[in-house]
Amino acid sequence: MKKIIIFLFVCLFIFLVVFGTTKIINIIDNDQKAWKVEIINDYINVRNNHSVYDTKIDKVEKGHKYKVIDIYLEDDNYIWYKIKLDGGKEGWIASDRSEPYVKEINNPNISTDKEEIDYNKPILKFYTESYETESIDTITFSHLEIIEDSEYEITYEIYKEEDPVDVPGPQYWIKYIVIDAFNNRTAKVQRIIFEENPSDDKVLDFADLNYN
């Protein structure tokens, strides 16, 4: 009986050692794969929320790495990262879109093999008030100028304005949407004139048009 008890204790000990070691390995592996930012500026202020006017709660210094909890991309000037500080406190830091203050590590939202991550939005230009084409099936993008270093995709949406104020209706609008390899998005709207107007099932209501 005593031998059986000793045997069971040995088995339990081995199990705990193996289980604990596996758990530690998984924790280390997950930490290595975690989304982080390394501070490359001398320092960055940590704020309570994603605004340069919000309360400063701390600062982080060059060379330190922090786990990213969330990201805010609606600021045209800065990328905002919510990070976990030493001791478990959380806060937001800003990084300039053109000259980043941080280096990205393991960003899961970016599908690219490039080492550097670009948060600059594509630049989309056209030089006339309206675009004329035969039908919705003959739309091209040859009249657009797009400035973007990475690969990008262009899509569009057509909106019908039933009763415009300045011209007899209906009037149509095309919203161009450009998304680059880093998921940065630019949208612009232009009036479109068709020789053959599209059917209503191929267009959206002008009242629902969002310019962003």
Each residue's pLDDT tens digit, 15-57: 555 544 444 334 334 455 788 999 999 999 999 999 999 999 9
Using 70 as the pLDDT threshold, list the residues of the chain that sit under it.
1-32, 109-116
Q: Is 42 exposed, middle or buried (0-12, 13-18, 19+ CB in 10 A)?
A: exposed
- pLDDT tens column, 122-134: 999 999 999 999 9
Put simply, whether the predicted model's pTM sits higher than 0.75 gets the answer no
The alpha-helical segments, DSSP class H, found in 89-164 are none
How far apart CA 25 and CA 177 sit, in angstroms, is 44
Residue 28 resides in a domain: no
How far is it, in rounded angstroms, from Cα 166 to Cα 189?
A: 17
Q: Per the structure, how many domains does the chain have? A: 2
Contact 210, 185 (CB under 8 A): no
Amino acid 6: pLDDT: 63
One domain, residues 198 and 129: yes
- Does any domain span residue 22? no
Q: Are 54 and 81 within one domain? A: yes
